[in-house]
Amino acid sequence: MLATEHLIIAPILIPLIAGALMLLYDESQRKAKLGISIASTIALLFVAIELLNRSKGTPLSGGNEISFYLLGNWAVPFGIILVLDRLSALMLVLVAMLAIPTMVYAGANWHKQGQHFNSLFQFLLMGLNGAFLTGDLFNLFVFFEVLLAASYGLLLHGSGQVKVRAGIHYIAMNLVGSLFFLVGVALIYGVTGTLSMAQLSQMVGNIAPSERPLFHAGAAIMGVAFLIKAGLWPLSFWLPITYMASAAPVAAIFSVMTKVGVYVILRLSMLIFGLGAGESAGFGADVLVWGGMATMLFGVFGVLGSQGLGRMAAHLVLISSGTVLSAIGLALMGGGTVLLSGALYYMVSSTLATTMLFLLIEPMTREQGGIAAMLALTADAYGLDADEEDEEEGGLAIPGTMTILGLCFGVCVIVLASLPPLSGFIGKVAMLSGMLGVGALPGWVSWPFLAVLMLSGFATLLGLVRIGIQTFWASDSKPPKVLAMEFAPLILLVSIIVAITLRGDAVLRYTDATARALHDPLIYSVGVSEPRRSTVTQEETGE
């Protein structure tokens, strides 16, 4: 029983311990470090699945169960608290599902291009999981900075002027975002006297009219920091070059980092500015709706104008983020739970597909001698044994390389363009049915969103098909030699996408319950406000 109570903190402790342990290993012991990293990510997946099952609760609990963990056993708001609900559990599982294939892919010599790749990767996972679990804004900032610090090192992993130039822009933008975060948090604390998300949810409706503008200003300033991370236009100019310049496994795991910004916007918007917020209800909804659509259009133009798959994949990340941000804004306007449920399903599906696309870029565009020259340079810089490097580079040659790559690429096209029968189509249909079925949204908002949503899918189809024709049909070059450790993650991601498509009803039931819980802030706030209990059910909130 004691072990299960402490399970909530495991997604933070597992990568922290693994990353710290690998710092004790010499850089020549990369196989051992890779083994520790893969074992850590697998353990994270098992823990995340168990926590997801716990968040479902029981039929008697109404299908929602809030669990929390008091560090030091200090009550809210004096102590640090970790909160597990359906949304945070979903994000933990998503991170773990992406971390395993990305880490395996990195084992195909990518982790040898610089120092401490495995430790930085684990610290990034620690920051991601901590951001999804924390229950107060101060510790959200702490975990946010942890994942940013790790991402700086991962972005510069390898060599090249493009990485350095992109890294400078990336670091500068995130430092500005951190400054906005601190200023916004300071204003919110000055008005309310607390940084607990649950307490803010309970207090926002009773803020004095004279102090409400200051509270809104703090929320808006803090929101800018997360909109930068989510890639909202025009704050997204740094993202395409950053993702394009990153090493393949780094860009792949970065695809979920934009969802940290989306997650925080979703959490705080529905919790603080949802039902019960009084005059603050719906604050920022217009910015999210129109800013999200502008981001989608920016991504559309980027996809159509991109000549390389790397830049195109980065703009597809923006389309994904813009779609979910617009859906959050529409939900705040009264779009209903079905719309938000479809957006959550789409977010999971599109993140899996963009991650796989980033892993496909290098094998699809690999030229004879290109990767070999880079790895040879790395071996010379870090004193690797030449014979060992050649042996690993030989790897396992799989017949039908272009066929397998083409099938994986085809899955990405179908999902990202939202074509039937895969999960991208299901997510968009759920969003559209929720938006058009409620009838509470005005036409001047719903119809432009529908048009941009359709346009983004069509533009994605055109852009990716153009790249596919150039790569698989029009090219006369020799098929690339792809290692088994590069194929295995792609096949794993395809399997996950097929699984969430075949079990789409079960996944949508989970996201439906998640959306209903998000629309009722009492489920979260009452659960966290009971400091001496481990769980709270939906039944206890009066629902």
Q: Which residue has the higher pLDDT, 392 or 400?
A: 400
Q: Give the model's confidence band at 153: pLDDT under 50 very low, under 70 low, under 90 confident, else very high.
A: confident
* Whole-number pLDDT of residue 297: 94
pLDDT one-digit tens code per residue, 279-322: 777 788 889 999 999 999 999 999 998 888 888 999 999 999 99
Cis bond upstream, residue 421 (ω within 30): yes
Overall average pLDDT of the 56-70 stretch: 66
pLDDT of 529 strictly over 90: no
What Å distances lie between residue 366 and 163, 247, 281, 456, CA to CA?
19, 13, 51, 28
Element (H, E) at 286: helix 285-305
Burial class (CB in 10 A: 0-12, 13-18, 19+), 396: exposed
Residue 43 has pLDDT above 90, yes or no: yes
pLDDT of res. 320: 92
Q: Which of 99-113, 350-364, 509-523 has the lowest mean pLDDT?
A: 99-113
Higher pLDDT, 398 or 313: 313
pLDDT of residue 123: 93
CA pair distance 252, 245, nearest whole angstrom: 12
Quick: pLDDT tens for 7-42. 889 999 999 999 999 888 877 777 888 888 999 999
User: Rounded to whole angstroms, how far apart are CA atoms 430 and 117?
Assistant: 39
Whether the per-residue pLDDT at 59 is higher than 70: the answer is: no
Going by pLDDT thresholds of 50, 70 and 90, the confidence category of residue 390 is very low
Provide the percentage of residues in the chain whose pLDDT is more than 70.
83
> Residue 107: is its pLDDT beyond 50?
yes
Question: Can you tell me the mean pLDDT for 453-471?
Answer: 89
As a whole number, the mean pLDDT across the chain is 81
Mean pLDDT in residue range 465-474: 81
Mean pLDDT of 84-110: 89
Q: Per-residue pLDDT tens for 421-460?
A: 888 899 888 888 887 776 667 777 888 888 999 999 999 9
Q: Quick check: 90 pLDDT over 80?
A: yes
pLDDT band at 392 (very low <50, low <70, confident <90, very high): very low
Task: Name the DSSP letter for residue 472.
Answer: I
pLDDT band at 483 (very low <50, low <70, confident <90, very high): confident
Segment 481-490 shows an average pLDDT of: 80
Please tell me the distance from the alpha carbon of residue 109 to that of residue 371, in angstroms, as a whole number. Answer: 10
Quick one: pLDDT at residue 396? 41
- Across 34-48, 236-250, 263-277, the highest mean pLDDT is recorded for 34-48
Write the DSSP assignment of 445-507 as a string of letters.
HHHHHHHHHHHHHHHHHHHHHHHHIIIIIS--SPPPP--HHHHHHHHHHHHHHHHHHHTHHHH
pLDDT tens for 181-212 read 999 999 998 888 888 888 888 888 788 888 88
In this prediction, residue 522 carries a pLDDT of 78
The whole-angstrom separation of Cα 45 and Cα 11 is 9
pLDDT for position 439: 60
Q: How far apart (Å, rounded) are the C-alpha atoms in residues 80 and 70? A: 6
Tally the residues of the chain: 543
For residue 539, name the pLDDT band (cuts at 50, 70, 90).
very low
Residue 280: its pLDDT value, please?
73
Whether the pLDDT of residue 398 is over 50: the answer is no
Mean pLDDT on 52-56: 85
State yes or no: pLDDT of 134 exceeds 50.
Answer: yes
CB atoms under 10 Å from CB of 439, counted, come to: 9
- Residue 269 and residue 181: Cα distance in Å, rounded? 16
Q: Band of the pLDDT at 363, cuts 50, 70, 90?
A: confident
pLDDT higher than 50, residue 129: yes
pTM of the model: 0.86
Q: Is the pLDDT of residue 373 over 70?
A: no
Q: What proportion of the chain, given as a percentage, has pLDDT over 90?
A: 26
Domain ranges of the chain: 2-363+403-541
